[in-house]
């Protein structure tokens, strides 16, 4: 029997940031996390790079491993959200199918497309991943030799090459307030 608190006062949600590497998912999620903490909200951030160092360190970057990675993250996000946590998930999550599955499994799922042109993501690339992918040193790199299926109808689309981090955070906060999730 589940004993989690599912009251309106303890309503959690999952804000799922998706976009190319370098689009700004982590940067915006970190800024939003700080804003929510300041507002005394219960928040947890699940970041692709951090999760791969612990929960999914046994996985590589094959299609099958990416599928498993997103399945595990969806499960953790679902558990946290149903216990009243505002969960910020920042993963490339390139495949529409996986985001749709997460949406079906999680109450109060908010898809945020962190949209930035590939050229700008490559310019921002502090880790040098795009350069390595273009040189053939990294295989199955999203946006280069593996597809990114952009969301068709996300709740929010943030054009990070046109808006500041603070503007993006305010847009998300406004949405959460409108939906009475904060």
Judge contact between 182 and 175, C-beta under 8 A: no
DSSP run (H or E) holding 159: strand 156-159
In a domain, 174, yes or no: yes
Q: How many domains does the chain have?
A: 1
Give me the pLDDT at residue 171, please: 98
| Residue 109: inside a domain | yes
Rg of the chain, C-alpha, whole Å: 16
The verdict on residue 127 lying in a domain is yes
The arithmetic mean of pLDDT across residues 165-176, rounded, is 98
pLDDT of residue 7: 43
Confidence of residue 53 (pLDDT cuts 50, 70, 90): low
What's the CATH code of the domain at 107? 3.40.50.300
Q: Considering the domain boundaries, does residue 105 fall inside one?
A: yes
Residue 70 within a domain: yes
**Helical (H) or strand (E) element with 15:** strand 13-18
CB atoms within 10 A of CB 177: 10
The encoded tokens of residue 4 equal: 């989690």
Per the structure, the complete domain to which residue 34 belongs is given by 11-178
Specify the DSSP class assigned to residue 60: -
What integer is the mean pLDDT of 40-53? 80
Question: At residue 5, does pLDDT exceed 50?
Answer: no
Distances (CA, A) of 112 to 6, 127, 157, 159: 24, 23, 6, 11
> Edge-to-edge, what's the strand order for the sheet holding 13-18?
43-47, 86-90, 13-18, 109-115, 156-159
Give 87's strand partners: 14, 44
List pLDDT tens digits, range 73-123.
899 999 999 999 999 999 889 999 999 999 999 989 999 999 999 999 999
Catalytic residue annotation: 93
């Amino acid at each position: 029997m589940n004993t989690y608190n599912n009251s309106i006062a303890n309503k959690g949600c999952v804000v799922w940031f998706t976009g190319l590497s370098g689009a700004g998912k982590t940067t915006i999620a970190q800024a939003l996390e700080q804003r929510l903490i300041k507002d005394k909200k219960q928040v947890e951030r699940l970041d692709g790079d951090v999760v791969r160092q612990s929960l999914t360190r046994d996985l590589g970057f094959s299609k099958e491993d990416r599928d498993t990675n997103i399945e595990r993250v969806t499960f953790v996000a679902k558990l946290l959200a149903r216990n009243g946590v505002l969960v910020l998930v920042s993963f490339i999550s390139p495949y529409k199918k996986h985001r749709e599955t997460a949406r079906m499994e999680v109450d109060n799922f908010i898809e945020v497309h962190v949209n930035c042109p590939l050229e700008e993501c490559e310019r921002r690339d502090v880790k040098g991943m795009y350069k390595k992918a273009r040189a053939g040193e990294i295989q199955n790199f999203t946006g280069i030799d593996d597809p990114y299926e952009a969301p068709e109808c996300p709740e929010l689309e943030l054009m990070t090459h046109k808006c500041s981090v603070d503007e993006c955070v305010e847009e998300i906060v406004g949405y959460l307030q409108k939906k009475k999730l904060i």
